[in-house]
């Protein structure tokens, strides 16, 4: 898989109702968007090192989409033409820091976009999938399933997310979209092994250090 050096990561927050409940967040009227820089990428099952600025480092398992065409102001009905691969990633979040930023009304970036916070696993071809809005995915930690989701539970489906984001940001080949996390987020600790599955496909397998 090739990822351009000048790619960007567009991430979606609060896109699953049950997750919003667990964090006491309201369901948004429009997609909630934040960005991660390319320095946030962690790939090839490299270990994740817990940063020293958080005591509450959370995993968020998310379906990710790789953009394969240049696009701006994309209509939802044409959005499917802008990707051909779907994958699984982890949006690592310094929850303690994010809580403080939210209380102060500040942007989330330092709690969400720090180095190695965007784990990008493998991708599979969209053509292998019947309906991208009905795919199960889950995360196992040390062999136990800790988070489970299905893309049918998204508040805003993938094509609407792409359309909405493209009103503000030109989408480029190689850009990645994180589509939000379902309920079941939680803390990681040193020594944990994280394995992610999209349907029955294993998409990543790495350790926390």
Q: Which of helix, strand or coil describes residue 147?
A: strand
Q: How many residues bind Zn ion (CB under 5 A)?
A: 3
**Should residue 147 be labelled a site residue for Zn ion when binding is judged by CB under 5 A?**
no
**Should residue 117 be labelled a site residue for Zn ion when binding is judged by CB under 5 A?**
no
Cα–Cα distance between 148 and 181 in angstroms, integer? 9
Which CB atom, from 60 or from 195, has the smaller least distance to Zn ion? Answer: 60
Stretch of residues binding Zn ion (CB under 5 A), selected from 23-31, 56-64, 78-86, 116-124: 56-64
Cα–Cα distance between 33 and 12 in angstroms, integer? 5
**Should residue 175 be labelled a site residue for Zn ion when binding is judged by CB under 5 A?**
no
Nearest to 108 by CA among 95, 126, 127, 121: 95
For tokens 């209380």, the residue is 103
Stretch of residues binding Zn ion (CB under 5 A), selected from 36-44, 145-153, 167-175, 177-185: 177-185
User: In the bound complex, what is the minimum distance in angstroms from residue 34's beta carbon to Zn ion?
Assistant: 9
For the record, the structure tokens of 179 come out as 């589509």
Site residues for Zn ion per CB under 5 A = 60, 91, 181
């Amino acid at each position: 898989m090739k990822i351009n050096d000048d790619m960007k990561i567009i991430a979606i927050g609060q896109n699953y109702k049950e997750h919003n409940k667990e964090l006491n967040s309201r369901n948004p009227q429009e997609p909630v968007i934040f960005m991660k820089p390319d320095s946030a990428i962690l790939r090839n099952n490299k270990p994740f090192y817990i940063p020293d600025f958080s005591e509450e480092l959370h995993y968020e398992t998310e379906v990710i989409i790789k953009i394969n065409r240049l696009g701006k102001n994309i209509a939802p009905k044409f959005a499917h033409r802008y990707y051909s691969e779907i994958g699984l990633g982890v949006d690592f979040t310094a929850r303690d820091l994010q809580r403080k930023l939210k209380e102060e009304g500040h942007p989330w970036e330092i709690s969400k976009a720090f180095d190695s916070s965007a784990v990008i696993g493998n991708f599979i071809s969209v053509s292998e999938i019947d309906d991208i809005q009905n795919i199960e995915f889950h995360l196992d930690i040390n062999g136990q399933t800790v988070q489970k989701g299905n893309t049918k539970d998204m508040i805003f489906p993938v094509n609407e997310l792409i359309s909405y984001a493209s009103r503000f940001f030109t989408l480029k080949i190689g850009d990645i979209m994180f589509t939000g996390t379902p309920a079941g987020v939680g803390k990681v600790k040193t020594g944990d092994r994280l394995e992610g599955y999209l349907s029955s496909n294993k998409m990543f397998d790495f350790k926390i250090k």
